[in-house]
Structure 1
Amino acid sequence: MMPKTAIVEICGKYKVHTEHYLNTAANKTIILVNGSLATTASFAQTVRYLQPRFNVVLYDQPYAGQSKQHNLHGEPIRKEDEAAILLELIEHFCAHHVLSFSWGGAATLLALAQQPRRIEKAVIGSFAARVNAPMRDYLERGLNHLQACDRLNVSRLINSTIGKHLPSLFKRFNDRHVSSLAEHEYRQMHFHVNEVLTQNTHCYVACANAIEIPLLFVNGEWDEYTSVEDARIFADHAPQASFYTIRNTGHFLDMEHPAALHDTRQALLGFLDPACRKQGRVASDIQVNYV
């Protein structure tokens, strides 16, 4: 099904490209939050298994994808700005759930800490409570490539680190996407990476303390960058946190192989739509541990 697209003005400052996949049989709406350098296209597989049960909303950040032509690109956008954009879109689309991927989790946690009244549940994919040694090495190596707008080495770095478990087709997609980015997108990502490296990530733990809705953290077993162990630090801070590990999978979860797609789908739907479990539509061998 083709989405309904629109440009939504946020706070009179940003214009955001949105894609709304409508489902007349659904009574809940879920909004998806991209990771760094990504656009709505990165959620293509995720939409396929969410849309049969939910209305699904995707969007591009003001500096990226189909939003960038509608915005000026002077000062970089902070994670607090991205959180404010998310909160506005939650209200605009009357969203009930949020699903974030990778560093999209930073803005999502900041937004959820403000306790938006509509949100009932959230899934935080491939995100952790601290910048560990492998992630720090990856980000520090990326700073120089981003500052130099070195498209080739940015792509090589992504595909050899967080993307190393991706199939070759997706690695080629990464190459093509990174080579098409504008210079302001590299400046934005340089700002973002520098912010992550220089600021105390305790703010994300503090956000978790303020979030009262159920959260599901989903991480790949082989992901050394946002590891299962580092995600579970949130267990001591988020009152209703649960955790799921996708076996034999790295950072990109449902993109990496068919079994990972199956397990991610089952974990998300089992958490977001309990009727799936009651009706036996979530496989019995997939267990989500609620702690």
Structure 2
Amino acid sequence: MRPEIAVLDIQGQYRVYTEFYRADADAPTIILINGSLATTASFAQTVRSLQPYMNVVLYDQPYAGRSQPHNTFDRLISKEDESHILLELIYHFHAEHLMSFSWGGACALLALAHRPASIERAVISSFSPRVNGPMRDYLERGTQHLQSCARSELGMLINETIGKHLPSLFKRFNHKYVCGLAEHEYLQMDRHVTEVLAHNLGDALYRAREIKAPVMFLNGELDEYTTVEDARLFADHVPRCSFRAITGAGHFLDMEHKHACEATRTALLDFLCARPQRQSSYAQSEGRVLAL
């Protein structure tokens, strides 16, 4: 399953590394949007779940992963900038679907609010419209480590909080990866965290009212940082939304164990491969995925 690799020029400002996993000429195309500090590697399991049924596009933000060598870092990138990069990728790949993970949800919502014509459905996973107590504590502690470039401490914090349900091997990889990040990546992440703590996702939520495509919010039942209950508050902001909960899973969903992986795959395919249905602008459905 070798991807087609390209580095795309985005309006002469950024160069973005992309991976295109081809399924079939007639298959729809989905773009996956990373969470903060993550790269294309974090979606390996999701690609295996989706690629037999659709073409899958992965990419690294200009400041991260394999996009880094092709960019300069004379200024930090906002979530609005990230949303415009995503829109360019949607147009380039003629994508029908989007799926975001964690803080990639803010970028995805901002892009969806522009109503890209090709997008038919979107999945926002491990994200909620409010910064609750546990998430605020995590972010406040995290920004201290980011500002001081305390690499090991940040790696341990991630594994003890949002990554608490990951297998021990994944935690070791997480810690090693975070310890190897460049200083500009820490500065970029600190910018995002500071914005979130100051504005509590206000702009992304305000713009979300403009979204026309159906959106499914997917959260882990055990995730105390972006909870199932908090995610359901999106019903007040996104006109055509539905909700699924993965039993026995935390923040990282399909990466945590086999049952969570199978349940996440089922939820994604049930939603993304469903036939379009006529519904009112405020139609909502609720579902629950049980681990097998």
Normalization by structure 2: what TM-score?
A: 0.93
Question: Residue 26 of structure 1 contacts residue 55 of structure 1 at CA under 8 Å; is this kept in 2?
Answer: no
Deviation at 1:205, TM superposition (A): 2.4
Please give the per-residue CA displacement for 1:49-106, whole angstroms capped at 9, x wherever unaligned: 1000001000000000000010001211000000000000000111000000000000
Partner SS, residue 238 of structure 2: coil
Question: Residue 99 of structure 2 contacts residue 125 of structure 2 at CA under 8 Å; is this kept in 1?
Answer: yes
- Paired AA for residue 45 in structure 1: Q
1:280 is matched with which residue? none
Deviation at 1:236, TM superposition (A): 2.3
Q: Spell out the pairing of 1:33-182 with structure 2 (5 A cutoff).
A: 33-182=33-182
- Paired AA for residue 230 in structure 1: D
- Paired AA for residue 135 in structure 2: M
In 2, Cα distance between equivalents of 1:61 and 1:205: 22
2:10 is matched with which residue? 10
Question: Residue 26 of structure 1 contacts residue 53 of structure 1 at CA under 8 Å; is this kept in 2?
Answer: no
2:243 is matched with which residue? 243
In 2, Cα distance between equivalents of 1:236 and 1:193: 24
Q: Identity percentage over the alignment?
A: 62
In 1, Cα distance between equivalents of 2:257 and 2:27: 31
Deviation at 1:204, TM superposition (A): 2.7
Normalization by structure 1: what TM-score?
A: 0.93
Question: Residue 222 of structure 2 contacts residue 250 of structure 2 at CA under 8 Å; is this kept in 1?
Answer: yes
Please give the per-residue CA displacement for 1:25-51, whole angstroms capped at 9, x wherever unaligned: 542100000000000000000000100
1:199 is matched with which residue? 199
CA RMSD of aligned residues (A): 1.2
Deviation at 1:23, TM superposition (A): 1.5
2:287 is matched with which residue? 288
Question: Residue 136 of structure 1 contacts residue 197 of structure 1 at CA under 8 Å; is this kept in 2?
Answer: yes
Question: Residue 98 of structure 2 contacts residue 121 of structure 2 at CA under 8 Å; is this kept in 1?
Answer: yes
Deviation at 1:202, TM superposition (A): 2.7
1:231 is matched with which residue? 231
1:221 is matched with which residue? 221
Question: Residue 215 of structure 1 contacts residue 240 of structure 1 at CA under 8 Å; is this kept in 2?
Answer: yes
1:31 is matched with which residue? 31
Deviation at 1:239, TM superposition (A): 1.7
Number of matched pairs: 278
Structure 1 stretches of 4+ moved >3 Å: none
- Paired AA for residue 52 in structure 1: P
2:184 is matched with which residue? 184
In 1, Cα distance between equivalents of 2:227 and 2:202: 17
Please give the per-residue CA displacement for 1:190-225, whole angstroms capped at 9, x wherever unaligned: 111111111142323222211111100000011111
Please give the per-residue CA displacement for 1:158-216, whole angstroms capped at 9, x wherever unaligned: 00000001010110110111111111101111111111111142323222211111100
Question: Residue 106 of structure 2 contacts residue 201 of structure 2 at CA under 8 Å; is this kept in 1?
Answer: no
Partner SS, residue 210 of structure 1: coil
Partner SS, residue 66 of structure 2: coil
Deviation at 1:237, TM superposition (A): 2.4
In 2, Cα distance between equivalents of 1:263 and 1:114: 31
In 2, Cα distance between equivalents of 1:134 and 1:26: 44
1:260 is matched with which residue? 260
In 1, Cα distance between equivalents of 2:182 and 2:60: 14
